[in-house]
Amino acid sequence: MAKSDSLARAGDLEVRLAVSPREVAAAQALRYRVFFEEGGATPAQTNRRTRRDICRFDEVCDHVIALDLAAAPDIEGGAPVVGAYRLLRQEVAAAHFGFYSTAEFEVDALVARHPQLRFMELGRSCVAQGHRGKRTIETLWRGVWAFALRQGVDVMFGCASLPGADTGAHAGALAALGAHAAEPEWSAAPATGARRARGAAEPPEPRAFRELPPLVKGYLRLGARFGREAVIDEAFNTTDVFVVLRVADIEARYLDYFAPERPIAA
């Protein structure tokens, strides 16, 4: 992929695949700031020493990054990375370590139920402080969508993370997401040994939707469906819910909205 071949653009914000080890490292540094410094995740020694969120899956994944072209250059002289997604295509997962999400959810069983479809895992999504508005998130998602279309992906999935590992603090949010639960054939149960989070039996209050993280709200706007049970990721200090997004289910207005030629409002 050429350096000038953008996946999405909104003003001075460009979204494209990382094209060099330096850009992957910049995405890892952003992830470190968001997950470890802000989110309270527990860094391994390598993470702490390098101040990067380094994971073996990074070597085989595609990295979609958002660059702020108007900002001052980073310490390497490039445009700073202000958003990131890590994408793992099914054929790449099969050739290497499998899907990352299998540590928390029964992803392999889901994939096996739909052998005619191509899956892609969404992971390590984050946006820098000061860029967490609708414009950045939607531009980042437009880039993910463009990449999925290029690769002929039928189903995208991953973990929607709520900050904090308190099993009771997210009862309302889990009830809100439970109102958009996936059908059993499209869901993935918690993996054996995963620590399950408590949900809420009562219907969600309106404020529960308003208080969801911006990235999770973005999934809802796209028509994503969620697993009925969440798990606790103690290392990352999050409560994770399985999320699945079938390309065929995205409403027509969003297919049009994410068309590459359509401008994104500031």
Angle between helices 134-151 and 214-222 (to 10 degrees): 50
Whether the predicted pLDDT of 246 surpasses 70: yes
Whether 2 is in a domain gets the answer no
Whether 95 is in a domain gets the answer yes
Q: What number of other Cβ atoms are within 10 A of residue 229's Cβ?
A: 20
Whether 13 is in a domain gets the answer yes
Total domains in the chain come to: 1
Whether 115 is in a domain gets the answer yes
Whether 16 and 64 have beta carbons less than 8 Å apart is answered as yes
Q: How far apart are the first and last CA of the chain?
A: 28
Per-residue pLDDT averaged across 252-265, rounded? 58
Helix intervals (H) in the chain: 21-31, 45-50, 90-95, 107-113, 134-151, 171-178, 206-210, 214-222, 252-257
Q: Give me the count of residues in the chain.
A: 266
Whether 1 is in a domain gets the answer no
Q: 64: domain CATH number?
A: 3.40.630.30
Q: What is the pLDDT of residues 167-218, one digit of tens each?
A: 678 888 888 898 899 999 999 999 999 999 876 556 667 777 878 888 898 8
The range of the structural domain enclosing residue 41 comes to 8-257
- Look at the pTM and tell me if it is higher than 0.85: yes
Q: What is the pLDDT of residues 73-91, one digit of tens each?
A: 776 667 899 999 999 999 9
Whether 152 is in a domain gets the answer yes
Whether the predicted pLDDT of 256 surpasses 70: no
Cα–Cα distance for residue pair 23/17, rounded to 1 Å: 9
pLDDT given at position 78: 79
Average pLDDT across the chain, whole number: 88
What 3-state class would DSSP assign to 18?
coil
Q: What is the pLDDT of residues 114-171, one digit of tens each?
A: 999 999 999 999 999 999 888 898 899 999 999 999 999 999 999 999 998 886 788 8
Q: What is the pLDDT of residues 215-242, one digit of tens each?
A: 898 888 888 999 999 999 999 999 999 9
Whether 161 is in a domain gets the answer yes
Nearest to 63 by CA among 81, 80, 85: 85
Whether 3 is in a domain gets the answer no
